[in-house]
């Protein structure tokens, strides 16, 4: 009997411990402000799982899959053209046919179409139109990818036209070359291994190193994607971490897809050449899911504390959000009157310990409400500070509340004021009373205390890291 009771007690303790660990890993970790390695790993894994099962990622992947289908021929033409320039066109074609051996007939037709496309764009009357169509198609798909990554990073503005021309040209030249080099290492070098290493006993070691080098080139390809495409400064170490995740996932998916060709070929008698189409769509969908999930990991590893208190922010009350708005206005007014450098979002987070996502959304709202102006502080993409848009010496708390309450669309429902005249009158009186009560309180007179504790300094260092 005692043994049974001990077993029950032990099982109950294990269940309680498991529930506590599960709750911590899923929810409570975002309220843990420590910067230890285990906490960072748990947060990164948490975001990775959320990203994979996030409906937005799936939706973006579907949209990019459609865009890719439209751009697949111009993209393939670009790769073949670059391969032709390096003398690797045949190797690239043979590699694709080897990977999709069950669809050799369809790939042969595709390459014939690509070669015809390149011939038309390189000679005759179609030279100008063909190049324009090719570049426009590729710019269109890359713009869609940039928009998806900017959405992950919370960047509202995309590249200007001239920056698209220069940056996209660099992307078109750099990334395909990296993939070609990765394939060359994996295919060309082993076939000439006797010239690389004359010692036969070194062959397995060299093969292993070459396989790793090819995988490393794929990692660099995805790292380049995460560094070059978003319209924001991305640190290399964070891009490389995400590139390792996405590159490894891409290679595993490639292996599964190639292995599955053997089983799919049995159904060619039923579906014919169309058997390749559903597999291609599934493959593209999974590739974009992996790529976008890697983008989220890159963002999370660089801004891991952006997700702190995410659950609380999602349930924030109107009253508490109003206090956050007023605090940010007080900070900008104080720094302006003291002739300090206009504070950026990062400065407000570091100096006052506020959650970064809440600061970002609040500052953007105050700009839309006409209470703050965005000014350039440094000559880079992240050098924006914020100053009051209204005379800070005369700005009152009541005026701030009035701007906040009337930011956005209102009075657009027909007959609402007549149907709910009593509600409208009461709410107007309540708003007038609040604004009038605060009309003599100036924002400049609100007391602000910078954080000077050791914990605040640690939080600042965490956010900077």
Task: Tell me the CATH number of domain 310-464, given options 1.10.10.10, 3.40.50.300, 1.25.10.10, 1.10.3470.10.
Answer: 1.10.10.10
With a cut of 60, say whether residue 459 has pLDDT above it.
no
Give the span between the Cα atoms of 53 and 190, in whole angstroms: 40
* Confidence at residue 184, expressed as pLDDT on a 0 to 100 scale: 61
Element (H, E) at 386: strand 384-388
182-212 pLDDT, tens digit per residue, is 666 655 555 555 555 555 555 566 667 777 7
Give the span between the Cα atoms of 205 and 197, in whole angstroms: 10
Tokens of 184: 């060359």
271-314 pLDDT, tens digit per residue, is 555 666 777 788 888 888 889 888 888 887 887 766 777 777 77
CB 196 within 8 A of CB 206: yes
CB 351 within 8 A of CB 459: no
- For tokens 């709910």, name the residue: 420
Query: In this predicted structure, which of 91-95, 221-225, 400-404, 461-465 has the lowest mean pLDDT?
Result: 461-465
Q: Which of 173, 213, 74 is nearest to 133 (CA)?
A: 74
Report residue 171's pLDDT band, with 50, 70 and 90 as the boundaries. Answer: confident
13-49 pLDDT, tens digit per residue, is 888 888 888 888 887 777 776 777 788 788 877 876 7
With a cut of 70, say whether residue 75 has pLDDT above it.
no
Report residue 401's pLDDT band, with 50, 70 and 90 as the boundaries. Answer: very high
What φ, ψ does residue 311 adopt, rounded to 5°?
Answer: -65, -40
Residues 6+ apart with CB under 8 A from 340: none
Contacts for 185-193: CB closer than 8 Å, 24+ residues apart: 185/210, 185/213, 185/214, 185/217, 186/210, 186/211, 186/214, 187/91, 187/95, 188/91
* Confidence at residue 426, expressed as pLDDT on a 0 to 100 scale: 93
Comparison of pLDDT for 368 and 258, the residue scoring more: 368
What φ, ψ does residue 372 adopt, rounded to 5°?
Answer: -130, 150
359-382 mean pLDDT: 82
Q: Provide the mean pLDDT of the chain.
A: 76
- What are 441's strand-pairing partners? none
Report residue 455's pLDDT band, with 50, 70 and 90 as the boundaries. Answer: very low
* Confidence at residue 267, expressed as pLDDT on a 0 to 100 scale: 55
Sorted by where each begins, the domain ranges of the chain are: 2-31, 51-306, 310-464
423-429 mean pLDDT: 91
Give the span between the Cα atoms of 104 and 110, in whole angstroms: 10
* Confidence at residue 330, expressed as pLDDT on a 0 to 100 scale: 93
100-110 pLDDT, tens digit per residue, is 554 566 567 66
* Confidence at residue 391, expressed as pLDDT on a 0 to 100 scale: 92
């Amino acid at each position: 009997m005692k043994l049974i009771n001990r077993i029950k007690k032990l099982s109950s303790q294990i269940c309680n411990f498991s529930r506590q660990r599960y709750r911590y890993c899923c929810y409570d970790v975002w309220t843990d402000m420590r910067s230890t390695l285990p906490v960072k790993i748990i947060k990164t894994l948490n975001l990775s799982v959320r990203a994979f099962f996030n409906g937005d990622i799936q939706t973006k992947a579907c949209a990019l899959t459609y865009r890719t289908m439209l751009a697949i021929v111009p993209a393939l033409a670009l790769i073949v053209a670059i391969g032709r320039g390096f003398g690797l066109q045949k190797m690239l074609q043979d590699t694709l046919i080897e990977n999709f051996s069950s669809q050799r007939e369809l790939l042969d037709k595709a390459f014939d179409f690509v070669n015809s496309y390149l011939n038309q764009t390189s000679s005759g009357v179609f030279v100008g139109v063909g190049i324009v169509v090719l570049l426009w198609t590729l710019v269109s798909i890359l713009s869609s990818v940039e928009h998806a990554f900017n959405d992950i990073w919370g960047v509202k503005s995309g590249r200007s036209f001239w920056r698209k021309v220069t940056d996209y040209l660099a992307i078109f030249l750099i990334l395909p070359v990296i993939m070609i080099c990765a394939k060359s290492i994996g295919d060309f070098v082993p076939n000439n291994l006797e010239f690389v290493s004359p010692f036969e006993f070194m062959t397995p070691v060299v093969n292993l190193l070459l396989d790793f080098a090819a995988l490393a080139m794929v990692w660099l390809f995805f790292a380049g994607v995460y560094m070059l495409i978003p319209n924001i400064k991305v640190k290399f170490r964070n891009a490389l971490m995400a590139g390792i995740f996405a590159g490894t996932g891409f290679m595993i998916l490639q292996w599964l897809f190639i292995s599955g060709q053997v089983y799919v070929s049995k159904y060619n008698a039923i579906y014919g050449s169309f058997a390749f189409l559903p597999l291609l769509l599934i493959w593209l969908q999974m590739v974009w899911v992996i790529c976008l999930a890697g983008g989220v990991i890159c963002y999370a590893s660089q801004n891991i504390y952006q997700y702190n208190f995410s659950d609380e922010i999602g349930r924030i009350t109107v009253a508490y959000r109003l206090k956050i708005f007023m605090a940010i206005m007080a900070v900008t007014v104080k720094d302006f009157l003291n002739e300090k450098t206009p504070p950026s979002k990062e400065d407000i987070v570091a100096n006052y310990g506020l959650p970064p996502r809440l600061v970002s959304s609040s500052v953007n709202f105050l700009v839309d409400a006409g209470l703050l102006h965005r000014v350039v502080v440094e000559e880079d993409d992240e050098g924006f500070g914020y100053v009051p848009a209204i005379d800070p010496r005369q700005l009152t708390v009541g005026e701030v509340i009035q701007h906040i309450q009337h930011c956005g669309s209102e009075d657009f429902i027909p007959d609402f004021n007549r149907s709910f005249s009593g509600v409208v009158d009461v709410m107007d009186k309540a708003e007038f009373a609040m604004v009038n009560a605060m009309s003599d309180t100036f924002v400049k007179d609100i007391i602000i205390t910078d954080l000077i504790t050791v914990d605040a300094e640690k939080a600042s260092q965490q956010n900077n890291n």
